[in-house]
Chains A and B, each alone.
Chain A
């Protein structure tokens, strides 16, 4: 996708994600106002809320994903959120984090980074962060996470205009200066050997982030294992299973 042709007619999809109780719903309401519609994610009874906003002449469709702590295949909510990001490939994923408990919230952020999502981080509850005299070096944090960070206060609407601008900027700016977490020699060697097998299916790698696939296989993620099983030959699968030590 070209970054220079700023075609305002082109639609952008942004998905909101975050831990439960971080103010995600409030941010969704602030962003989309009265344009909301409610439905279900295809095939499951997980509620899907959508809406849109127009900012700087750009129409942005917003999808509210279920609040989750992680993105495993074990819980329906997590799977729905993950599938949406992997399959629908929204232009931007807005990760809403509670600024007062970053330790816990950034875990999901790391999983989203692995998913190769175009992230914008909304650091919510900024008022509480300041009230508790917590100093957050936003520039440095943004650099380390490889994603822009906007401080927000969902309850008052502070920072929401900046968030909108940031979403549009990230959607148009496709350069990926993403942070990659080094899992240590053993795991990295495993990722490498699995990647060697994955490389034999280029069309798979076009659809899914290769490193993410390798990591999920090492984690023995049921869904990804299933998918691999259906795509690879017995020999290739045996190689993968050998690496991940699956009996």
Chain B
């Protein structure tokens, strides 16, 4: 009789595999030397021990560059459309209240968000191509070694990548993790992945303070910051909240395939549609509220002309002291307040508050001296981190079946946002930036 002190399932599995190689050795012969498939050849490069991670980061960077370059002409087109609409309203509508509503509320608020439809669709297209080609599974594999050490499960990687598109499906995709602790950690760190809703804010601010040449790099930095924070938070949660073993990682690596235009476009549309829907409902609604608060009391603001006398300015000034140390003014305070609903609203709020159309929104931010490169970068980081949007909170409630976790998430993220932005400002000032 024998006693087994170790976990024998590993030994048994090993025995099975030994027998399998014996059987294959005696029944399978590969003629014609080694016929190497494309998949084998590509995997030699993409899954290389040293090249794997640099290649992944390069592809990520190319993906963002692609999203902005391809979408640029379309952005100009959308801008022109809203300019045209604005003119049309000014020439044909005489009632000042209605003009203000349409040109500031509707066109300023909604239009400034809709210009981001092209880059967001382009980003979704790039993500679809990466998925359809079979690379996404490789990216998960390459990152697993790294993720495991950092307290995340390899399978968390796909939900997190989806998080680049939107955090809501990312949190739902965490269901694929069998281990409850792994799943909870993935849910709680997912909102730190920079979703496409935050992109409009980055594009606006980075374009304004860094110029088009360096905006891409600044945005890439923010995305990278999101990833670093995901990793640090995961490690923290693993050590404090969810102590325990990680389960092993098994992942099917599909054969590489030429992405098919039809399915990539379909994928893009399915995901992009969600953004359009959100723009039409929650973002539009919030823009209208922002507009209302910015032109009332109607008399005091002289028909929406003196925004400094409006309710919203009052709210902004009440909040301003909190953000003053970061070099942000009351408009930013208001933008952040309404951004809790959905982060695109931050841009829409600026659109309403500054009363300019999308093409010149960035320029007026700079002209008003609202951001320096340093405070702008800190602001981008803040928008990345501070509170998940309403939709994400609702999803966390549903998926964790509790109110405690979403509450924890809000407190955690707000604290983290102040911490990180403060660090950026502090370090920047030490280096002599203003």
**Chain A contact residues, CB within 8 Å of chain B:** 19-21, 69, 74-76, 102-103, 106-107, 110-111, 132-137, 140-141, 144-145, 181, 183-184, 186-187, 189-190, 193, 215, 218-220, 242-245
Q: A110-B19, A140-B26, A183-B12 are in contact. Are A242 and B3 (CB under 8 A)?
A: yes
A140: chain B residues at CB < 8 Å are 26-27
Measured CB to CB, the closest approach of chain B to A66, in angstroms, equals 13
Contact B8 A218 (CB under 8 A): yes
Partner-binding segment picked from B31-39, B112-120, B325-333, B403-411? B31-39
Contact B23 A145 (CB under 8 A): yes
B145: chain A residues at CB < 8 Å are none
Q: A181-B15, A187-B12, A219-B8 are in contact. Are A102 and B28 (CB under 8 A)?
A: yes
Contact A133 B27 (CB under 8 A): no
Contact B23 A144 (CB under 8 A): yes
Quick check: is B258 within 8 A (CB to CB) of the other chain? Answer: no
A134: chain B residues at CB < 8 Å are 28-31, 35
Contact A144 B27 (CB under 8 A): yes
Quick check: is B58 within 8 A (CB to CB) of the other chain? Answer: no
A220: chain B residues at CB < 8 Å are 7-9
Interface string of B127-146 (1 = CB under 8 A from A): 00000000000000000000
**Chain B contact residues, CB within 8 Å of chain A:** 1-9, 11-13, 15-17, 19-21, 23-24, 26-32, 35, 37, 178, 247, 250, 252, 254
A111: chain B residues at CB < 8 Å are 16
Measured CB to CB, the closest approach of chain B to A125, in angstroms, equals 10
Other A-B contacts than A107-B16, A218-B12, A245-B6, 9 sampled, CB-CB below 8 A, are A21-B252, A75-B178, A102-B24, A107-B20, A134-B28, A134-B31, A190-B4, A219-B12, A243-B2
Contact A137 B28 (CB under 8 A): yes
Q: A107-B20, A144-B23 are in contact. Are A133 and B1 (CB under 8 A)?
A: no
- 29 sample A-B contacts, Cβ–Cβ < 8 Å, listed by A number: A21-B252, A74-B178, A75-B178, A103-B20, A106-B20, A106-B24, A111-B16, A133-B31, A133-B35, A134-B29, A134-B35, A135-B28, A135-B29, A135-B30, A135-B31, A137-B26, A137-B29, A141-B23, A141-B27, A145-B23, A181-B19, A183-B11, A186-B2, A190-B2, A190-B4, A190-B8, A218-B4, A220-B9, A244-B4
